[in-house]
A and B are shown apart, each in its own frame.
Chain A
Amino acid sequence: MAATTLDRTAREAVASACADVRDSEPADHVGGVVPGLVARPADTDQVAEVLRAAAAHGLTVVPRGRGTKLSWGLPPTSADVLLDVSALDRVVGHAAGDLIVVTQAGTRLADLQQVVGGGGQRLALDETVSGASIGGTLATNASGARRVATGTARDLLIGITVVRADGVVAKAGGRVVKNVAGYDLGKLLIGSFGTLAVITEAVFRLHPVPVASRWVSVPASDPAQAQQVVQAVLHGQAVPSAIEVEWPADGQGAVHVLLEGREDGVEGRAATVRSLLGEAATESSDDPAGGATYPWDDGDTCLKLTFVLSALADVLETARETGLHLRGSAGAGVAYAAVPEGSSVEAAQDVVRRIRETCTRAGGSAVVLDAPASVKATVDPWGPVPALDLMRRVKDQFDADHRLSPGRFVGEI
């Protein structure tokens, strides 16, 4: 891969905007595109300086948190500057009494959990990839098993600070959970893959860490049976925090139900769930194998699938037919699936087409989050996207020159 080269004035402009600027190395690549420079600003102001310098010199910029999901999405069409926000790694404030945390975007999710965990609280977002940053988690809208109870980033983010492509710093939301003043820009930024603005700070609502937690699991090998089990739990009164399905490419699958709360309450609810799940159900206080992580390995074609809850059986059926290894939140209608490394491009294309057909029929979507370059180049990673024209208009308003992460998002935004 050839590195992007920048002319001298542009390099100097970026270097004077931010103390920590270095030449790129091959390992800095984003989907195979090696940036010209790596800038590691120390704070929001320096992020703004870098973006102003980039705007003045017509440079493209790709933001990066901890780089754990940087290969997701399409490769950028250009990456003059890799904007590494990992130095913005402070938890700015934890107001335990208000169940609020203010954090910089480069902070690792795990480090933030450590800080708020001291107060018996947690940010109710699972760490699906080890080492992930807050900014990257937001930009990719990553979520895990517990979304059934506490939702996803959009349900937890209450305030955001961003730097626009033109270097203007702006905030939206605030530091209180209840707030309807102004547009909710945080929602637009979540899942925007670095294409609208650079997230530098975020404010979240927190939840108390439950005293007790228990998994109740039941083997499942038939799609209809898995769906029946999931529906029984959904319509029951156990108030699950997670309903996961594990569905290997072949062999036996399982449904796992997580109960969290007070000691006696969890015990009682676990018994309720066991009675719904039948005699084969077992209890454990450990996370099931795989836990909150994705079901893929390096080199796999990695899919995110969404569907209405009643279509679980159809999705599992298609997964089995196409040899997908699937794992995810059956209770929320979101699952992840992997086409194993070594499958031919044609085979991967065929799997994507078939599972997308099923998910689309089920009111959802199938998105290729990551894949080998040969697959990414030949499949449409996002599938049909309604309101794309309106999305392009939003992009044009925020980033008229398409400076930020060009080409990485839907419709090659």
Chain B
Amino acid sequence: MPTPALSAVAAVADRLLPADGVITDHARLRTYECDGLAHYRVTPALVVIPEDAEQLAAVVRACAEQGVPFVARGSGTGLSGGALPHAEGVLIVTSKMRTIHAVRRDDQRAVVDPGVINLDVTKAATPEGYYYAPDPSSQQICSIGGNVAENSGGAHCLKYGFTTNHVLGADFVTADGDTVALGGAAPDSPGYDLLGAVVGSEGTLGIVTSVTVRLVRLPEEVRTLLVGFESTDHAGAATSAIIAAGIVPAAVEMMDALAIEAAEAAVQCNYPEDAGAVLVIELDGAAIEVEQEFAEVERLCHDNGAFELRVATDPTERALIWRGRKSAFAAVGRISPDYIVQDGVIPRTALPEVLKAISDLSGTSGVRVANVFHAGDGNLHPLVLFDDSVEGAGDAAEKVSGAILDLCIEHGGSITGEHGVGMDKSKYMPRMYTDEDLDTMQLVRCAFDPQSISNPGKVFPTPRLCGEVPGRRKGAHPLQEAGLAEVF
């Protein structure tokens, strides 16, 4: 039975949105029960699919008036449960907002709707000689709005940075349903950099309805190398040597033997035989510069024990090299019925030590771990393998997965480099941050969303009470009402 508050929101949606934009049927609601992290499932009370910013803002306004929680969802590819619906709340899906409004070559900007697919921005800009740099591996299906929420990275963020470095402006619907402009087409807008706080806030501050992004000039030359090493130590040493030589490659990706085995089984990528590790290294930029860097990278790889080195100079060859790496997550399905994709970060120099510790963890627990990672910036994606039909295997895998995050924290790293905290990792936040740190972050939440209705329950393990906000909704705090918190 929907609550009266929810019915009121549904009535607003019914009035303003086309019939296919409001979903109340239980079976259809269930298709939205999870995002890319499928082991968390919650059926939302209502799904709305607005066609434009006005409709979206009106739904949010109705939620604010009724104190109903809402969760924004782009393409639902997130890997931390950030778009996990709220059982008593509204899921606001941006999949009908897919217009690319402008590609302005002379300004190096594009203006896009939040539901626009990441790769489509690049496709629209390519004829002009430009592209959109952040390239999460889901770029063929993930949305810009979701990228903004998660501050998505990608293989090439070593050189080009993350979503936050490429988003300059946004129209933003606050948790009250007001629309404000954050940032703009020009840099350095006066006032607080609210957009900087919004990017990566995982939908907990509000929803973007239009995004102005930076376009980057397509490089003159791209060269991709696939390098085989005896061990991850050798591959790690080569990576360090490249960085120490003052070279900033566009990407440096590493896979260990188990990950290579999986990729071979899945896509026959034909990586060097018997390699204990491979590196995929990509250099891009001005041709003359790439030429020289390439020679040096080649030398440094050989100096550090590379036994095979292949070079791709055209897009087809490049795609072949990337195929193994890009298929890696799904490919472990070939060698294990179930797996957890972990996402942690360490200082790159701690790589040998941490890999050794992961291998020890695996040895003592009997849980296999395949390692795929962005070696250039120390972002690990250990794939923890298990068979859920074996009793206790899931728990054992979960334990190893958690212990890997502890390793990251011990080495001064982070519990997430790009997948986000979401639902999945909020419990780990206190291991990385003090209560005071988390409390301070939530001051931002209180400023943006004092009712705590925008994607509640994500990121922070313990919500902060925001206190009375002048001129806003009177009555008990929604958390208090729900019996989740008391005000002392």
Contact = CB atoms under 8 A, between A and B. Distances in A.
Contacts of B174: 390
A152 B437 contact: no
A175 B437 contact: no
A388 interface: yes
Contact of A191 (B193, B240, B412, B425): B193
Contacts of B246: 120, 208-211
Interface stretch (B10-18, B318-326, B344-352): B344-352
A190 B193 contact: yes
Nearest to A190: B193
Contact of A367 (B161, B190, B192): B190
Nearest to A175: B412
Nearest to A400: B467
Contact of B433 (A182, A264, A269): A182
A364 B184 CA distance: 7
Given A185-B441, A268-B288, A180 B194 contact: no
A171 B197 CA distance: 15
Interface stretch (B53-61, B373-381, B387-395): B373-381
A382 B191 CA distance: 8
B85 interface: no
Interface stretch (A6-14, A233-241, A244-252, A347-355): A233-241
Given A97-B348, A182-B459, A185-B197, A239 B191 contact: no
**Chain B interface category by residue count:** 35 or more
B369 interface: no
A409 B192 CA distance: 9
B191 A410 contact: yes
B156 interface: no
A304 interface: yes
Contacts of B99: none
A333 B419 CA distance: 32
A385 B347 contact: no
B414 A174 contact: yes
Interface stretch (B68-76, B253-261, B444-452): B444-452
B477 interface: no
B437 to A, nearest CB: 5
Interface in B241-276: 243-244, 246-248
Contacts of A262: 289, 292-293
Given A175-B347, A234-B108, A362 B414 contact: no
B190 A410 contact: yes
B164 interface: yes
A207 B162 CA distance: 16
B113 interface: no
B478 interface: no
Contacts of B282: none
A227 to B, nearest CB: 9
Interface string A36-51: 0000000000000000
A332 interface: yes
A151 interface: yes
A385 B192 CA distance: 10
B20 interface: no
Interface in A371-399: 382-383, 385-391, 393-398
A179 interface: yes
Contact of B193 (A120, A162, A187, A272): A187
Nearest to B109: A308
A237 B220 contact: yes
A265 B377 contact: no
B60 to A, nearest CB: 15
Nearest to B466: A397
B243 A183 contact: no
A218 interface: no
B190 A383 contact: yes
Interface in A146-174: 151-152, 154-155, 162, 164, 168-172, 174
B181 interface: yes
A357 interface: no
A181 interface: yes
Interface in A195-252: 196, 207-211, 231, 234-235, 237-239
B13 to A, nearest CB: 25
A261 B108 CA distance: 23
A185 B444 contact: yes
A146 B414 CA distance: 29
B447 A394 contact: yes
Contacts of B434: 170-171
A172 B434 CA distance: 10
A362 B104 CA distance: 13
A137 interface: no
A309 B106 contact: yes
A390 B194 contact: yes
Given A180-B421, A308-B107, A387-B180, A188 B201 contact: no
A272 B221 CA distance: 15
B436 A168 contact: yes
Contacts of B420: 180
Interface string B404-423: 00000000111111111100
Contact of A386 (B164, B182, B433, B440): B182
B188 A334 contact: yes
Given A265-B288, A390-B447, A179 B187 contact: no
A5 B346 CA distance: 50
Interface centre among A208, A209, A359, A409 (most CB of B within 10 A): A208
Instruction: Please provide the 4 A-B residue pairs with the shortest distance between their CB atoms, ordered closest to farther.
Output: A187-B196, A364-B186, A208-B246, A265-B289
6 contacts: A97-B347, A179-B413, A181-B421, A182-B433, A308-B107, A411-B191
Given A170-B436, A386-B180, A394-B444, 6 more contacts: A100-B347, A143-B188, A154-B196, A176-B377, A239-B286, A365-B190
